[in-house]
Amino acid sequence: MIELKNVSLSYNKVYFALYDINLTAKRGEVIVVSGLGGSGKSALLRVIAGLDKISKGEVLIDGTKVEDVDFISAVSVGYLSQKPVFFESKTVFQNLAWALKIRKVDKSQWEEKVDEVLQEFNLMDIKKKKINKLTKVEKKLVQIARLMLRPLDILLCDDLNLYKEDENFEVLSKAYKKLIAKDKKHKLTIFISNNEGLFKDLVTREIKLESGSIQSDRGV
């Protein structure tokens, strides 16, 4: 489903965020990517999502070059970034409804679909609240809920470094797990985490990056 062939990404003449990456991944896989800061983890997700233009090589999704992929109608990619992006002055409902609107979901279904995901994550009480009034955890949960609104072919999750001692570990890990587990057999999931035990019952493959290159790639 995804192929990276001799992919390199450089932001200047001396620094490579990714160097000569070769990777194939398919639907049904749940891949965790780990590595030290600056190892290329986020860069890897960004080139798969078509957000960064590679310096060398090819990124293919279902045989089509990533720059030619129609991410609205042909391939559905969900990208869970470290910093959620919203219309900050609009309500939770308006933000989630917008995600349905751009995918041409009939307006008569918006309320029902939005309520369904808000109930899933116990967020009905903030439905009419503006995004800029939410806590960081609430924003993250709304970001996850937004991705639950549509079927995904590819799910990319940046920086899920959750640990049990974290104050919000239970609520966030439960939400992430719901997102990853949804239609698991029908989508490819790649998430970043240095917590080796995170979602071990779902993970099928572990990739470790070092200095922009794949140091190890193994099934679990």
Beta strands in 30-175 (DSSP E): 30-34, 56-61, 64-65, 77-80, 154-157
What CA–CA distances, in Å, run from 52 to 15, 55, 128, 171, 209? 15, 9, 35, 32, 18
Per-residue pLDDT at 14 exceeds 80: no
Confidence of residue 73 (pLDDT cuts 50, 70, 90): confident
Q: Map out the domains of the chain with their CATH numbers.
A: 1-72+155-167+185-220 (3.40.50.300), 77-150 (no CATH)
Q: Give the amino acid at 140.
A: K
**Which residues, at least 6 apart from 167, have a Cβ–Cβ distance to it below 8 Å?**
none
> pLDDT tens, 179-218?
999 999 999 999 999 998 999 999 999 999 999 999 999 9
Per-residue pLDDT at 143 exceeds 90: yes
Per-residue pLDDT at 23 exceeds 80: yes
Per-residue pLDDT at 169 exceeds 90: yes
* Residues 201, 220: Cα–Cα separation, whole Å: 10
Per-residue pLDDT at 13 exceeds 90: no
Per-residue pLDDT at 15 exceeds 90: no
Residues of the chain above pLDDT 90, percent: 91
* Contact between 102 and 95 (Cβ < 8 Å): no
pTM of the model: 0.94
* Ramachandran class of 69: left when φ > 0, alpha when ψ lies in -120 to 50, beta otherwise: beta
Q: What angle is formed at CA 203 by the lines to CA 190 and CA 150, rounded to 5 degrees?
A: 50
Average the pLDDT over 129-144 and give the result: 97
* Residues 146, 116: Cα–Cα separation, whole Å: 11
